[in-house]
Amino acid sequence: MKRLLQLLLLPLLAASHLASAGELEEYARAANRLVALSQTAQREGKEPPRMASGEGKELITLLSDRQRFLDSRSFTPGDMSELSLLCGEMTKTMMNYMMFNLQRIDRSNKDAAALSAAVAAASRENIHSYQDEIAQLMPMTTLCMGKQLPVLEQFLTTLKPDEFNEARQRGLAMTQNGLFTSMLGALSGIGDPTVSEANQLKMVGALAEVAPVYAAALPLENRSRIVALARMRLLNSAPAFKDALLRILQAMENAECTGLCRRAP
């Protein structure tokens, strides 16, 4: 999704600056260190860094510090390049666990569909095995996207009609599809017996927090489908999920279509 937003905002990228580029560099260093440790562990047949102790704990504590990296500042279209890079680093740390050691998949005599299914199954195993780490890191990606979308909307309001060209339209459509898919995936995962309720609540809670921003960016048809699934989950999920589901429903039931919603192809 980082590439899609960069495509939409290409004219601004060269002039973008975060309030503290040093913090972006520190985040990137920590993310790269986490990935490097994981790669070494994979070669040695060991687990990736865990958040329970050691360097893994230190790295994940830093990488999941939302107050420092997301909440302590405001962002403008001029910050979009660095914000996009920051969100990309956050996604990288999460995927580090979800995609860990996929080399274990038997790739012999598999067609494309079978291989895709095998990758998905291995990713689900990783989500179960490394759920504590993923539950700390995934909300950062969700919240970062919540920061990016209003900045993107601000930028698009500055464009002349002919500047919202086909490439930007495709980028927006793909971004909206990514938001829609992430919402459906999170709601569908509620009640998964392989993931603890506490970890599910961290991930769903982050989506509930950004639901108004996501809703404003989504076409009404997408919102309707999310509403239908959220209502079903409200009926058959544990009471602990009620508040987050109601917040998602309230946001997605809003029928106003302005900003990014209005620009949907």
**DSSP-assigned letter for residue 169:** H
SS3 assignment, position 92: helix
pLDDT tens digits, 109-161: 668 888 888 888 889 999 999 999 999 999 999 999 999 999 988 888 888 88
Same domain, 116 and 198: no
Give me the sign of the Cα torsion angle 88, 91, 96, 102.
Answer: negative
Query: Looking at the structure, do residues 175 and 140 belong to the same domain, yes or no?
Result: no
User: Cβ atoms within 10 A of the Cβ of 137, count?
Assistant: 25
Do residues 9 and 137 share a domain? yes
Are 261 and 218 in contact by the 8 Å Cβ rule? The answer is yes
- Asked which of 82, 117, 148 is the last residue of a domain, the reply is 148
Q: Whole-angstrom Cα distance, residue 263 to residue 256?
A: 13
Q: Where are the beta strands (DSSP E) in 86-229?
A: none
Shared domain for 244 and 115, answered yes or no, is no
Indicate if 142 and 175 belong to the same structural domain. no
Asked which of 89, 113, 148 is the last residue of a domain, the reply is: 148
- Both 144 and 180 in one domain: the answer is no
Does any domain span residue 114?
yes
- Residue 137 sits in the same domain as residue 179: no
26 phi/psi in degrees, rounded to 5: -65, -40
Residues 25 and 139 in one domain: yes
What total of structural domains would you count in the chain?
A: 2
The tally of CA atoms less than 13 A away on the side-chain side of residue 228 is: 6
Give Cβ neighbours of residue 196 (< 8 Å, ≥ 6 apart): 131
Answer yes or no: is 36 within a domain. yes
**Rounded Cα–Cα distance for residues 31 and 35 (Å):** 6
Task: Answer yes or no: is 137 within a domain.
Answer: yes
Q: How large is the C-alpha radius of gyration of the chain?
A: 19
Residues 215 and 240 in one domain: yes
Residue 86 lies in a domain: yes
The pLDDT score that the predictor gives to residue 242 is 96
Please report whether residue 103 resides in a domain: yes
Range of the domain at 58: 1-148
**140/48 same-domain check:** yes
Whether 139 and 194 share a structural domain: no
Residue 152 in contact with residue 5, Cβ under 8 Å?
yes
Q: Are 175 and 64 in a shared domain?
A: no
Q: What is the pLDDT of residue 109?
A: 65
Residue 154 lies in a domain: no
Low-confidence ranges of the chain (pLDDT < 50): 2, 5-19
Task: Answer with the one of 148, 167, 194 that is the final residue of a domain.
Answer: 148
Phi, psi of 263 (to 5 degrees): -90, 0
HEC assignment per residue over 127-161: HHHCHHHHHHHHHHHHHHHHHHHHHHHHHHHCCCH
Could you tell me if residue 188 is inside a domain? yes
Confirm whether 47 is domain-assigned. yes
